[in-house]
Structure 1
């Protein structure tokens, strides 16, 4: 088989899934991750439709269901914490769902990492300094270790992908700001109701408490409208200033307590709501997968789904092509792009979570109190093109040659 030595930058959902399938198909993946350990933070993510098939074929779907966030209700409150509207998420899921599971992002990463233990080489606390590709491979220099040669390099390193910047160009060419920032982190476990996401809005902002049924820890959730800010996203102090500037002078509802708890969390996640749009996900021997290539933004609810399916397809196409990256990368884009483009067409999620005006909040509350929301959820399920078709089983090409 050609191109067996493959470097994967990023040890999150896409990177771990890709490593699993590459190893299973006989490749030799190496995973590097800038963080010192698997990242445990992040919000709830959805494993649904074809992503369920990927997880089932990996044998991890039972663990995913056991660790499900199990949030049953979204509750909207006023400044006195009085309920003004609610969405019965469990009822909508039971009536219109297809077996999908919401799980905390850190829990999913942990499950996928465990699935690779003993079969995939990992280096944490490491990142790529430079990439130099030629007709035979890619020379990679690292921040902390000696240079190495790989046959292929895959960037699975998120929206702010280092691999993308090195191989494709500056982030400004590909990342589209969607007018909002959000933050998600631990806060006092005494806040919120079990199995509930509690939301408080003012025009253009949202503060909330997320309480998973399978976790005692409460999570603070913030969202606010803002033009794009110029700051170093790898500077925790700069990130925290974004959140502080937006909410530090707020004394309404439980915002001061939630903000204090979130800012004290070392794994606090803060970023822009953005999408990644690219004409191609590959250049020569370097390709991208997951948010690095096609982030749909947290507002889509599709990040984990696209990462799991995309990684499965990329590994599978390399297998079917006998390691020929020219064929595999092209087929990967051809088979996965339609789903990506559909998921990047964000529906009403932003208007639901952070209405722009007081009138918008009132309209959202009216809809949430009526049977209309459940009906709309059903219509959306019916009208959406199916993504539950069976994924192909990838097998080696009939005639493969040694690299």
Structure 2
């Protein structure tokens, strides 16, 4: 069976790899002229997603690209000295098996794992999907595919083509996320430095293998502004208005806006679709169930979803009705849990009062001083909170290597 996937970030390459392993003929189309290198931010890969990476034979590469963050240092208004948190202990409380890695690095690793067996079409995208599987590209000649998979992120073009008016079920979680590349000299190896205030947080970090550092801003706007995800100039003005004067260090990060080689800005938005398939089209990862950028573990959810989608389609011998239904049943509970967790995290990382700012740090300090086994045990009692992603049960699929 011929399968077309749109999107070559995380879910697309993972789905392509496993579909090929299970005997499908896979093509991936990507709008960008090459694999995206957007600057990106550090993401977390949790237990079940780590297991999938290991089964792909790429876990050593993933671990080799870990950011290596050891300490988080927070500054807050009115505090005479910063607060230091042991990031390694914090990570152990979140997951028994976990790595923090740059999104671009992980995307490259997943792409490399399957690029020799999968056809990739860059600098193109779909403009139409017919009910019979005939698809129209912006640049390449039209073709017919048995199945079409949208793995093209929160602003998915496949979702818009296949779901029409039903594609826009989104909930804005009240915040915006921005990441920009800044000189490495502004950061400290092994340390994430953050400034926390009411309704805004700014952080900076780097990694040994990076040639730059990443400044990350999460904030609630003081007043509504007309957000257009394509209007970089307007986004940068909003960012400066919100963070200028927060600290001398943050001002230095903002000074890089005019010369940064990579700038990312998006609303922290959660998709609320009740179904991720329509006919012979299915959605995977952020295209179908983005819990919210930076707050909902969407990368691990995308990896798991891509693996499950390939496994269920193989079990169903490629029948989209059976395979897609099974995929949605398996992923339903993890997606619902991720949505709830994302809303909670979005509230907690952006305190809405001075009291909230003061209360944000002590939990991290407590984890830093308690013995690691105790913090892991306490966190393990909450499978719907801190340990949500470690608790996802991924089906075992029979091997079917081609």
| TM-score when normalising by structure 1 | 0.89
Quick one: distance in 2 between partners of 1:171 and 1:214?
A: 42
**1:379 corresponds to which residue?**
378
Quick one: distance in 1 between partners of 2:367 and 2:286?
A: 35
**1:125 corresponds to which residue?**
123
Contact between 1:168 and 1:283, CA under 8 Å: does it hold in 2? yes
Deviation at 1:216, TM superposition (A): 4.5
**1:401 corresponds to which residue?**
none
1:244 aligns with 2:240: yes
Contact between 1:69 and 1:104, CA under 8 Å: does it hold in 2? yes
Deviation at 1:354, TM superposition (A): 2.4
> Counterparts in 2 of 1:56-71, with a 5 A limit?
56-71=54-69
**Cα shift readout 1:330-378 (whole Å, capped 9, x = no counterpart):** 0000011111111221265334432222221112234444459967765
Quick one: distance in 2 between partners of 1:371 and 1:122?
A: 45
Quick one: distance in 2 between partners of 1:165 and 1:49?
A: 32
Q: Identify if the C-alpha distance between structure 1 residues 140 and 62 changes in structure 2 by more than 3 Å, giving closer, same or farther.
A: same
**2:141 corresponds to which residue?**
146
Q: Identify if the C-alpha distance between structure 1 residues 211 and 16 changes in structure 2 by more than 3 Å, giving closer, same or farther.
A: same
Quick one: distance in 2 between partners of 1:83 and 1:165?
A: 50
SS at match of 1:344: helix
**Structure 1 range deviating more: 323-332 or 144-153:** 144-153
1:21 aligns with 2:25: no
**2:350 corresponds to which residue?**
354
Structure 2 segments unaligned to the other structure (5+ residues): 385-389
Quick one: distance in 2 between partners of 1:89 and 1:44?
A: 14
1:393 aligns with 2:389: no
Q: Identify if the C-alpha distance between structure 1 residues 377 and 225 changes in structure 2 by more than 3 Å, giving closer, same or farther.
A: farther
| TM-score when normalising by structure 2 | 0.89
Deviation at 1:201, TM superposition (A): 2.0
1:270 aligns with 2:265: yes
The alignment covers a number of residue pairs equal to: 389
Deviation at 1:21, TM superposition (A): 0.8
Quick one: distance in 1 between partners of 2:11 and 2:118?
A: 14
SS at match of 1:167: helix
**Structure 1 range deviating more: 199-208 or 89-98:** 89-98
Quick one: distance in 1 between partners of 2:167 and 2:321?
A: 27
Q: Identify if the C-alpha distance between structure 1 residues 187 and 80 changes in structure 2 by more than 3 Å, giving closer, same or farther.
A: farther
**Cα shift readout 1:218-245 (whole Å, capped 9, x = no counterpart):** 1111111037754432343344344234
| Aligned match for 1:112, one of 110, 114, 119 | 110
Quick one: distance in 2 between partners of 1:220 and 1:35?
A: 24
Quick one: distance in 1 between partners of 2:167 and 2:25?
A: 33
Contact between 1:273 and 1:298, CA under 8 Å: does it hold in 2? yes
1:161 aligns with 2:147: no
Quick one: distance in 2 between partners of 1:373 and 1:213?
A: 27
Quick one: distance in 1 between partners of 2:275 and 2:30?
A: 24
Contact between 1:320 and 1:395, CA under 8 Å: does it hold in 2? no
Deviation at 1:261, TM superposition (A): 2.1
Deviation at 1:96, TM superposition (A): 6.1
Q: Identify if the C-alpha distance between structure 1 residues 37 and 241 changes in structure 2 by more than 3 Å, giving closer, same or farther.
A: farther
**1:291 corresponds to which residue?**
286
**Structure 1 range deviating more: 346-355 or 15-24:** 346-355
Contact between 1:92 and 1:377, CA under 8 Å: does it hold in 2? no
Structure 1 segments unaligned to the other structure (5+ residues): 397-403
**2:184 corresponds to which residue?**
189
Contact between 2:206 and 2:212, CA under 8 Å: does it hold in 1? yes
Contact between 1:46 and 1:301, CA under 8 Å: does it hold in 2? no
Contact between 2:296 and 2:341, CA under 8 Å: does it hold in 1? no
Q: What is the CA RMSD across the aligned residues, in angstroms?
A: 2.5
Deviation at 1:37, TM superposition (A): 1.4
| Aligned match for 1:198, one of 193, 202, 207 | 193
> Counterparts in 2 of 1:187-336, with a 5 A limit?
187-226=182-221, 229-247=225-243, 249-250=244-245, 252-336=247-331
**1:400 corresponds to which residue?**
none
Deviation at 1:274, TM superposition (A): 1.2
